[in-house]
Amino acid sequence: MNINTLTIDEARSLIESRQLSARALAEAHYAEIESRDQTIGAFLTLTRERALAQAERIDRLAEKGDPLPPLAGVPVGIKDVLMTRGERTTAGSRFLDKFVAPYDATAVERLEAAGAVCLGKLNCDEFAMGSSNENSAFHPVRNPRDTTRVPGGSSGGSAAAVAAGFAVAALGSDTGGSIRQPAAFCGVVGLLPTYGRVSRYGLIAFASSLDHVGPLARSVKDSATLLEVIAGRDPHDSTSADVPVGKYSPECGREVKGMRIGIPSEYFGEGLDPEIRQAIERRIDGLRAAGCEIVNVSLPHTEYAIPVYYIVATAEASANLARFDGVRYTTRAPQVKTLADMYRRSRDEGFGAEVKRRILLGTYALSAGYYDAYYLKAQQVRTLLTRDFQNAFTRVDAIVTPVTPTAAFKLGEKTDDPMSMYLSDIYTVTANLVGVPGISVPCGNNGEGLPVGIQILGKHFDEATVIRIAHAVEQEQK
Amino acid sequence: MKVTAKDVAYVADLANLELTPEESTRMVADLNSILSHMDKLNELDTSNVEPLAEVVSAFASAGLSGSEKFAYAQRADEVKPGLSRSIALSNAPDTDGTCFRVPKVIER
C-alpha cells in the first residue's frame, strides 16, 4: 500500500476490513507531513488531538463490526478559511494569527459526521486572495511536482497536501478559481459546486456572491463522494439552496454517449499555452470517440470577465473585511488612543499588501462618483456573462475549457505585477460570476513534466453531468 | 494617471486603512494599472441591461418575484441557543468580562 496515492474507497476498505486502524492511518499521514512538509509548507496547524479522537471513534465502530459511514477514517485537510471549533483558524492572515474558532463550519461538521479525520488546517493566500499562495502571511506553499513553482491559489495548501500525499482529500474555497486552478497546477481534481450547493456557514467571507466551498481529491469519484457529504441546504446559511442533493458517485462510469459538449472559441484564443491547448484537444477527441457530440459555442463576453470579477470581488471584500476592526478578532494595535486610531492601526498591522490593495480597489469602485462607472457597470456586464451561459446551455449539456493559460509558474514570477497575476484567472472567474458548477481534472503533463488541467462546466445544480464527463475524461487517460 | 495620491488617501480613509508613504506610492501605481484594465468595460453599451448582484434569484426561482424568491430562506422567529458570552468574547483583544472594551469614543 502506498499511502501517498490512497483514494477514499481504498482508505475506507482498509479500515473496514481492519487491515489498518484509522489511528494508524492518521499517524502514517502525520509521519509524511513531519518528514516532508517543511519543504512544501502545506499545513499551518496540525489538529492531532482532534484527529486521533475521531480515528479512535471510527476504530471502535470497525471493531464492533458496525456499518461505517462513507468517509470512515479518511484523513483530510481543511483550508484555513473554514472554522474548526477550538482550533486556530487564521485565513492565512497575520490578523487572525491567534484566532480560535468558536464553532465548526457546516462543511467541516458534515465531513466529520461522515467519519473523516481532520488532520489540520491548510495554508492559503490571505483571506483567499491570490492565485499563487504567495500572499499567505505565514509562508508560501511549494508545488509538490516542482518545488521551485507555486501550487496555485488560493487553496494552494489544499491542492499541495493532496498531491504530496499528506491527506487523501481536502476542503477548499473558490471565489474566482481558488479550488480549480491549484488543482490544475498540482495535478489533482478540484470541484466547484453550484453557488448555494454547499453551505458557507463558518467560511471566512471574501466575496459573498462568489464564494463557494468544495473538495479537492485524487480522483473524480472521490470528489463526487465528498460532494454528496457536504452538499445540501443548511439553515445556518440563508444562501444555501433548497435543491435536492443527488447521488453523485454513481455518475462515475455512466456512459457519455450522446452528450453534447460545447467548446467556446473564446477560451482557446491568444494567451493559451499551445501545449495546454493540445492536451485539451486530445481529451476532446477522446470524448468524441466515446460518442459525445462536440459543438462549437460562443461565450462572447468572456474577455470582460476579469474586469467584472475584480470589481465585484473587491467591492464585496471591502465590505466583508470591515469586521476586522480591532474589537472582536484577536488583533489590536498597541497603545491606541482613539477608536479611529484603533481601527486604522490594527488594520494596517494585521493586513498584508494584497488584502489592502483589494480593499482599496473595492472601496474605490463603491465610492461616490465611481459607483456607476465601476460597480454598477460590472454588475450589468455580469448579467451579459450570465446570458452567454444561458444561451450556450440551450444547445449543450456541458462546456469544456482550459483551467489555466499556463502551467504552474515560478515563485516570485508574478508578485511584482498584480494585474498579470489577476489575468492568470481568465478561464476560472466566469463560473463564479455565473454561479455554475465546474471541475478541474488532470489531463497529462507538459514538456517540463508539469500537470495540465481541463475544466468542465455544467448547468446550475447539474453537478451530475459535470462529474460523469469528468470521470470519462479521467478514465480515458488510464 | 487617473488615480492620484490624494485619491488613494481619500479611499484609504473611507476604508479605515493607514498607509505608509511607500505603500501609498505603490498603491497609486497598482490602482492605475488595474483600473486601466477595468475601463475595458466601457466598450459595452449596457444602458438597457439590468445589474446582477447575486445569481440565486436569477436562476433558482423562475416564476417567483420579489421576496418570494427567497421564501426558502425564511424561518420562524424563535429564540434558539447561540454562542455563550464567554465564547463570544474569547477572541477579543480587550473585554471587561461582560462586554468588548474599546478606547474612548467621544473626545472632550
Q: Does the distance separating the beta carbons of B87 and A376 come in below 8 Å?
A: no
Strands A117-122 and A75-79: parallel
Q: Which three cell numbers stand for residue A320?
A: 466583508
* Active site (catalytic) residues of A: 79, 154, 178
- Output the pLDDT for position A294: 98
- A179 phi and psi angles, rounded to 5 deg: -100, -45
Does residue B34 surpass a pLDDT of 70? yes
Chain B from 78 to 97: CB within 8 A of any A CB: 83, 87-88, 90-94
B105 close contact with A: CB closer than 8 A: yes
Of A241, A326, A374, the CB nearest to B93: A326
Distance of residue B42 Cα from the nearest chain A Cα, in angstroms: 8
Is ipTM beyond 0.90?
A: yes
Strands A260-264 and A293-297: parallel
Q: Can you list the alpha helix ranges (DSSP code H) found in A352-410? A: 353-366, 377-392
Tell me if residue A447 falls in helix, strand or coil: coil
Closest CA in chain B for residue A352: B23
CATH number of the domain to which A443 belongs = 3.90.1300.10
Q: Which three cell numbers stand for residue A234?
A: 443548511
Q: Which residues in chain A are closer than 8 Å to B33, comparing Cβ atoms?
A: 417-419
Q: Which residues in chain B are closer than 8 Å to A372, comparing Cβ atoms?
A: none
Nearest to A420 by CA among A328, A310, A321, A313: A310
Distance of residue B89 Cα from the nearest chain A Cα, in angstroms: 7
Q: Does the distance separating the beta carbons of A238 and B102 come in below 8 Å?
A: no
Distance of residue B49 Cα from the nearest chain A Cα, in angstroms: 6
**Cβ pair A385, A434 in contact under 8 A:** yes
Q: Does the distance separating the beta carbons of A328 and B16 come in below 8 Å?
A: no
Q: Does the distance separating the beta carbons of A384 and B17 come in below 8 Å?
A: no
Dump pLDDT digits (tens) for A194-205: 999 999 999 999
- Output the pLDDT for position A137: 98
* Structural domain of A181: 1-478
The whole-angstrom separation of Cα A457 and Cα A262 is 9
What letter does residue A373 receive in the DSSP assignment?
Answer: I
Q: Which three cell numbers stand for residue A417?
A: 505585477
- Output the pLDDT for position A478: 85
B59 close contact with A: CB closer than 8 A: yes
Dump pLDDT digits (tens) for A379-438: 999 999 999 999 999 999 999 999 999 999 999 999 999 999 999 999 999 999 999 999
Q: How many domains, in total, are found in chain A?
A: 1
pTM of the full structure: 0.97
